[in-house]
Amino acid sequence: MPIKKIAVLTTGGDAPGMNGAIRSVVRSAINKDLEVVGVSRGYLGLINDDVKAMDHRSVSGIINLGGTVLKTARCPEFHTPSGQRRAYETIQKHRIDGFIVIGGNGSFTGAHSFYKKYKVPCIGVPASIDNDINGIDVTIGSDTAVNTALLAIDNIRDTATSMERVFVVEVMGRGSGFIALQVALAGGCEGVLIPEQKFDLEKVCHEIVEGNLRGKISWIIVVAEGAGSAPEIAKQINRLTSLEARAVVLGHIQRGGRPTAYSRSLALILGKAAVDALVQGQKDKAVGSQNGEIVTVDFKRAISKKDLKVNRLVNLIKVLT
Ligand code: F6P
């Protein structure tokens, strides 16, 4: 069946660049003479029939904004048969031929399960600060989150050096160590703890003490939230080294803010690629960029564990400390 009318929604945790993806989807679709509707609050809006028409002007002036103008939500109900049935009723009511989901791993998991049951064509645009979508290089928003966290690390460095302290900085990422690894490297941090790699805190403490004896006066250890909690690790470092260790949890500041040029351009490229894929009859897939090429990846593969190939970066951080 030819695609004449599509819906676009953002769901799960917001990511900087989502607005660029919305803009690209809406304008690329209009350019192909498709009708476009926007769904508010992601899957929740599909369930509650929160649907509005979108035109060229409805996506003006949003490219530089963080968050998502369509709003987003976590929606456990979409993972239930009754939630999916109601979402399908909304799709039928508005005669939507296919939809584009801008979101991360959880969003694609929902889209894949919905496709299996209702066979409504759906294409995913990967947007998440976690960079945990398999089969593609980078998600929209992860570059911005890394730069936001890096700014915080640089600020912490000033006080760490001045007061000769150990800092443990916790960054987001859910089960992924992507943000932690990137900021630890770019911020010249002395250690990084990530879920992808086992670590021995006593060994880390030993290295800190050894370093101190050599005259190293301050330390920043980055911990991915999936590997542990900064307050807990700082407490252990205090106990095991007798050095003053402070904990900083960066939290949701990493999710907001102006998208970087990289996050924006990726969003604009992938928004159009998603419309093209839908029109070509593709379904149950995410679009993405890999090694400089635009690719499509089955949702099933996209939501499986991504191998970040962490060893090279972890070793480099060690060599440079
Ligand atoms: O998936 C993005 C993310 O920011 C994760 O890094 C984090 O674990 C989670 O969302 C936090 O979710 P919420 O804002 O719902 O607490």
Could you report the per-residue pLDDT of 298-320, keeping only the tens digit for each?
A: 999 999 999 999 999 999 999 99
| Dihedral angle, C-alpha 200, 204, 209, 215, nearest 10 ° | 160
Looking at residue 259, its pLDDT comes to 98
192 within 8 A of 184, measured Cβ to Cβ? yes
Whose CA is closest to atom 11 on ligand 1?
13
CA 15 to ligand 1 centroid distance, Å = 10
DSSP type of residue 204? H
Residue 321 has pLDDT above 90, yes or no: no
CA 59 to ligand 1 centroid distance, Å = 26
23 within 8 A of 49, measured Cβ to Cβ? no
Catalytic residue list: 130
Looking at residue 304, its pLDDT comes to 98
CA 1 to ligand 1 centroid distance, Å = 37
**pLDDT one-digit tens code per residue, 223-266:** 999 999 999 999 999 999 999 999 999 999 999 999 999 999 99
Helix (H, G, I), strand (E, B), or coil: what is residue 97?
A: coil
CA 308 to ligand 1 centroid distance, Å = 19
Answering whether pTM is above 0.85, one says yes
Confidence tier at 1 by pLDDT (50, 70, 90): confident
Q: What is the mean pLDDT of residues 205-224?
A: 94
Whose CA is closest to atom 2 on ligand 1?
13
Ligand 1 mutation target, pool 11, 130, 148, most atoms within 8 A of CB: 130
* Alpha-carbon span 126 to 105, nearest angstrom: 8
Ligand 1 mutation target, pool 172, 182, 250, most atoms within 8 A of CB: 172
Ligand 1 pocket residues where CB is under 6 Å: 13, 74, 104, 128-130, 172-174, 225, 255
**pLDDT one-digit tens code per residue, 131-188:** 999 999 999 999 999 999 999 999 999 999 999 999 999 999 999 999 999 999 999 9
Atom of ligand 1 nearest to the CA of 254: 4
Looking at residue 8, its pLDDT comes to 98
* Alpha-carbon span 217 to 166, nearest angstrom: 8
20 within 8 A of 113, measured Cβ to Cβ? no
Atom of ligand 1 nearest to the CA of 130: 6
